[in-house]
């Protein structure tokens, strides 16, 4: 396993968060793709190679796991500038979408081509052979439906190739991706692990370890509510809902376009407007600073009420719950609205993570803890079996 690189990847509905190796490298980019042609116009190859590769990911993806094989995509930031950009739709299953796999493979390829990794992965001319031990996850609803097994089988045992086309610094390179092992974790369980354990999976939050806890993970397309009892997720009571923030962000984006004539590239632009520290809920209209508070407040409050209703219903069915933690990017967006509702209504014991990065990166951090623990356990018996060398 020594030549297999650890990767913990959270394919979030809004963005990809990934942690590699000894935590020395992270990737965060929008979960957006756009179908494209082999040649995309650029001003000049010299200018192209002076740009950040993450601003111009243009790839062909070959994999037996894909329904649409050998397709060409703009990915991440480059895709946001396309008229045909696609983001995952509400009601879709993450494990069954080509977009999930394209984003996963693109993320791994962006790590594999780094010059710093030339000593890890063999390179022959323009081809890099990359091997990963992957920790990732799926919504509780999909795991309960048994879709994790099918998703894993798409990844293991095959070679998945990413060919960089008109991409800064990496044009012409191909990355062959293989998996040494793939572990798929339910997202609610992962959030719990991250709350109570450190990177060595030692308990760091003893106050929480034996409490009855709810974890409400609000994502782009779905909400998972994990019920933690006796240090385990109660599979029967844990629930997943097709209710995330994406539809509301899309509604805000559309209303801003209709009312102010301002076209925002993606849902991520909307998130930035409603969460940034300065000039929150303001946009520029014809050079003038303009408030969109009326639009964002109305739409997000409506979503917060629906999220609060989910909390109330689950809490009623688990009346001995002691605290509910709200996690995920959606929780960060709705935090103020849910807090206000709770203060005015039931007054449940709820908690948010004030640190935006901690909340948004919670799943990736949890997958990293779990996959590194798996690697440690596999490596330990191997080392114990190695013969002792005579000095």
Distance CA(314)–CA(321), nearest Å, equals 10
User: What are the start-end ranges of the H helices in 113-170?
Assistant: 140-144, 147-155
Q: 323-327 and 288-291 as β-strands: parallel, antiparallel, unpaired?
A: unpaired
Distance CA 199, CA 367 (A): 10
CA distance 387 to 173: 40
Q: How far apart are CA 276 and CA 272, in angstroms?
A: 6
- By DSSP bridging, strand 25-30 and strand 213-218 are unpaired
Residue 1's pLDDT is what? Answer: 42
Q: Where are the domains of the chain?
A: 5-186+371-384, 210-360
Q: Do domains 5-186+371-384 and 210-360 have the same CATH topology?
A: yes
Q: What is the pLDDT of residues 267-299, one digit of tens each?
A: 888 988 998 888 889 999 999 999 999 999 999
Note the pLDDT of residue 41.
65
Alpha carbon distance 205, 1 (integer Å): 32
pLDDT band at 42 (very low <50, low <70, confident <90, very high): low
**Which residues, 6 or more positions from 278, have their beta carbon under 8 angstroms from its beta carbon?**
none
The CATH class for the domain spanning 5-186+371-384 reads alpha beta
Predicted confidence band of residue 391 (pLDDT cuts 50, 70, 90): very low
Mean pLDDT of 40-67: 82
Q: Which fold has domain 210-360?
A: Nucleotidyltransferase; domain 5 (3.30.420)
CA distance 7 to 19: 6
**Residue bearing tokens 């805000």:** 252
User: pLDDT for 71-108, tens place per residue?
Assistant: 999 999 999 888 888 877 766 788 999 999 999 999 99
User: Nearest Cα to 165, choosing from 288, 48, 16?
Assistant: 48
């Amino acid at each position: 396993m020594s030549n297999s690189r650890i990767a913990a990847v959270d394919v979030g509905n809004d963005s990809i968060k990934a942690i590699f190796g000894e935590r020395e490298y992270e990737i965060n980019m929008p979960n957006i793709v756009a179908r494209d042609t082999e040649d995309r116009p650029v001003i000049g190859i010299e200018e192209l190679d002076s740009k950040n590769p993450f601003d111009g990911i243009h790839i062909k993806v070959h994999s037996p796991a894909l329904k649409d094989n050998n397709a060409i995509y703009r990915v991440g930031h480059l895709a946001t500038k396309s008229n045909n950009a696609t983001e995952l739709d509400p009601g879709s299953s993450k494990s069954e979408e080509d977009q999930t796999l394209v984003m996963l493979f693109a993320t791994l390829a962006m790590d594999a081509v780094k010059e710093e990794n030339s000593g890890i992965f063999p390179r022959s001319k323009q081809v890099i052979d990359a091997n990963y031990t992957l920790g990732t996850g799926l919504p509780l609803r999909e795991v309960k439906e048994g879709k994790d097994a099918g998703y894993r089988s798409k990844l293991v045992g095959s070679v998945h190739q990413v060919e960089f086309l008109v991409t800064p610094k990496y044009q012409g390179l191909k990355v062959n991706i293989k998996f040494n092992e793939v572990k798929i974790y339910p997202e609610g369980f992962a959030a719990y692990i991250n709350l109570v354990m450190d990177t060595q999976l030692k308990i760091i939050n003893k106050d929480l370890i034996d409490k009855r806890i709810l974890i409400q993970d609000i994502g782009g397309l779905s909400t998972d509510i994990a019920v933690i009892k006796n240090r385990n997720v109660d599979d029967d009571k844990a629930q997943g809902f097709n209710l995330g923030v994406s539809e509301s962000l899309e509604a805000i984006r559309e209303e801003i376009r209709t009312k102010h004539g301002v076209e925002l590239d993606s849902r991520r632009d909307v998130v930035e407007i409603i969460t940034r520290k300065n000039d929150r809920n303001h946009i520029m209209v014809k050079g003038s600073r303009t408030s969109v508070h009326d639009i964002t407040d109305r739409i997000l409050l409506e979503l917060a009420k629906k999220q609060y209703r989910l909390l109330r219903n689950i809490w009623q069915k688990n009346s001995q719950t002691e605290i509910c933690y709200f996690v995920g990017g959606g929780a960060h967006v709705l935090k103020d609205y849910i807090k206000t509702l709770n203060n005015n209504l039931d007054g449940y014991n709820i908690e948010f993570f004030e640190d935006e990065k901690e909340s948004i990166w919670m799943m990736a951090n949890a997958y990293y803890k779990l996959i590194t623990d798996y690697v440690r356990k596999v490596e330990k018996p191997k080392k114990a079996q190695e013969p002792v060398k005579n000095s």
